[in-house]
Amino acid sequence: MSHKKVFPAKLEGSVKVPGDKSISQRVAMLASLAEGTSKVTGYLNGEDARSTLSAMEQMGAKAEFRDDALYITGVAGKLQSPAEPLDMGNSGTGTRLLAGLVAGAGLEVSMIGDESLSSRPMGRIRQPLELMGAHIGLTGKRGTLPMMIAGGKLKGTGYLLPMASAQVKSCVLLAGLFADGKTTVIEPRPTRDHTEKLFQALGIPIQINGLEISIEGFGQEGPRFKARNFVVPGDFSSAAFWIVAIAARPGAELVLENVGLNPRRTALLDVMERMGADLEITLTEKQGDPYGTIKVRGARLHGTVIEGDEIPNLIDELPVIAVAAALAEGKTEIRDAAELRVKESDRIAEVVKNLQLFGVEVEELDDGMIISGPTDLKTPAVAINSHDDHRIAMSVAILNSFSDGPITIENVSCVDTSYPEFWQHMEQLGGQVE
């Protein structure tokens, strides 16, 4: 079992975070469907992005890493049936989005994944895909993987998403590419819109009207669009660990360049500013999925309330926001975040348990938590298990940089799913890791 010993440290400086995981996986799928060869720069060299790319290769796309770029040659709308099950590893995004694609393409495919992915709910994609005419078998115990998909001849449909989920929204839109007629999804709250932005960049006809998104299907023959070049910006969710590590440390400074700044991803910046952080944001690229530079200066933070529409916009950052809350003066309330319970682990239970091990006063809620600070952190006497959840492992490492002794974090290989350079960057910023 992999583990790391992490020491308290003052972190500061600058790092270049790896490519965005959500965008990388969508680019892998769409470039694989395109006609011709796409050059992709900044593709995430992490396990989730690699398992999605391998799945596309199993269905006929060609991928080659050359001179710091990834070249993907697509199948011009005609995916082939894979000879083996698609092993999606730890990737919820890969699984749910690809399910839409293969259901649309009319292939018979089975999908499997690791222990964490095999415990995550897939009924949420079965429902809309079956409404469109696909057959989805979930052979796990509770509507979970392994999943068998038999699709084809889909009909466009209208679907009101029961939860705010960019993965379910994107699954339906990707299936809609192959449907007859128009497919419309309506989201209850705004979620990340990378799929929509990529459709627009590729000239795929999509209409966006507030929370209602429609696509005119190309039918069973599959979508026809040309390859293009893609630039994947740095992952804001990876940058978030350093933003919090510095924002909560008076006197420290950090610069992060080429970080994705899609407004549907960056509510952490608003939260940190409300908590008293000193941030400076400069947009380098405004078109498509925007990116730019984030400068953070540490300050004394104070508590805030995080709820409602803000939640989907910072859902992946909540474990590290809890770290900021533990160090901030007063109460921080996180509500409306029950989706956290079905991420790579039950992130409400794991965050609450870990904070308590560091002596933080925290109350668990069904849909969030209330954290009281500031806490004089105590180093736990026991090792902390990530439960195969990359963001739990990394947020504990950040939390411990503020404590008074070393801790051991067990099961850290999951960090490679989104941020393989994390430990190296921690050392580059002045941290000590063994």
CB nearer ligand S3P, residue 167 or residue 386: 167
Give CA separation, 16 vs 39, 279, 341, in Å. Answer: 21, 17, 30
CB nearer ligand S3P, residue 49 or residue 109: 49
**In the set 179, 315, 357, 396, which binds ligand S3P (CB under 6 A)?**
315
What distance in Å separates the CA atoms of residue 25 and residue 20, rounded to the nearest whole number? 9
Which of 235, 289, 316, 389 is catalytic? The answer is: 316
CB nearer ligand S3P, residue 243 or residue 311: 311
| Bond prior to 250 in cis (omega within 30° of 0) | no
Question: What is the footprint of ligand S3P within residues 207-246 (CB under 6 A)?
Answer: none
Residue 259's DSSP bridge partners are 234, 292
User: For residues 158, 164, 165 and 169, what is the CA-based torsion angle, rounded to 10 degrees?
Assistant: 20
Does residue number 345 form part of the binding site for ligand S3P (CB under 6 A)?
no
Pull the structure tokens for residue 384: 């902390």
What distance in Å separates the CA atoms of residue 288 and residue 275, rounded to the nearest whole number? 30
Pull the structure tokens for residue 303: 């508590």
Place of tokens 């006497």: 381
CB nearer ligand S3P, residue 260 or residue 373: 260
What distance in Å separates the CA atoms of residue 81 and residue 50, rounded to the nearest whole number? 19
Instruction: Answer yes or no: 366 catalytic.
Output: no
Size of the site for ligand S3P (CB under 6 A): 11
| Bond prior to 263 in cis (omega within 30° of 0) | no
Q: How far is the CB of 20 from ligand S3P (least distance, A)?
A: 9
CB nearer ligand S3P, residue 299 or residue 337: 337
Does residue number 346 form part of the binding site for ligand S3P (CB under 6 A)?
no
**In the set 12, 316, 317, 388, which binds ligand S3P (CB under 6 A)?**
316
Does residue number 93 form part of the binding site for ligand S3P (CB under 6 A)?
yes
End-to-end CA distance of the chain: 15
CB nearer ligand S3P, residue 165 or residue 375: 165
Does residue number 192 form part of the binding site for ligand S3P (CB under 6 A)?
yes
Helix 390-401 to helix 318-327 angle (10° resolution) is 20
What are the strands, taking DSSP E only, across 266-411? Answer: 278-285, 291-297, 305-306, 330-334, 361-365, 368-373, 384-385, 407-410
What distance in Å separates the CA atoms of residue 216 and residue 146, rounded to the nearest whole number? 31
Residue 385's DSSP bridge partners are 410
CB nearer ligand S3P, residue 170 or residue 395: 170
Question: What is the footprint of ligand S3P within residues 9-28 (CB under 6 A)?
Answer: 22
- Select the span of 47-55, 160-168, 268-276, 379-387 touching ligand S3P (CB under 6 A): 160-168
- Select the span of 32-40, 165-173, 350-358, 367-375 touching ligand S3P (CB under 6 A): 165-173
**In the set 119, 165, 214, 400, which binds ligand S3P (CB under 6 A)?**
165
Does residue number 332 form part of the binding site for ligand S3P (CB under 6 A)?
no
What distance in Å separates the CA atoms of residue 42 and residue 232, rounded to the nearest whole number? 5
Q: How far is the CB of 421 from ligand S3P (least distance, A)?
A: 19
Residue number of the CB atom closest to ligand S3P: 22
User: With contact defined as beta carbons under 8 Å apart, do 213 and 207 qualify?
Assistant: yes
Enumerate binding residues for ligand S3P (CB under 6 A). 22, 93, 165-167, 170, 191-192, 315-316, 339
Question: Catalytic residue positions?
Answer: 316
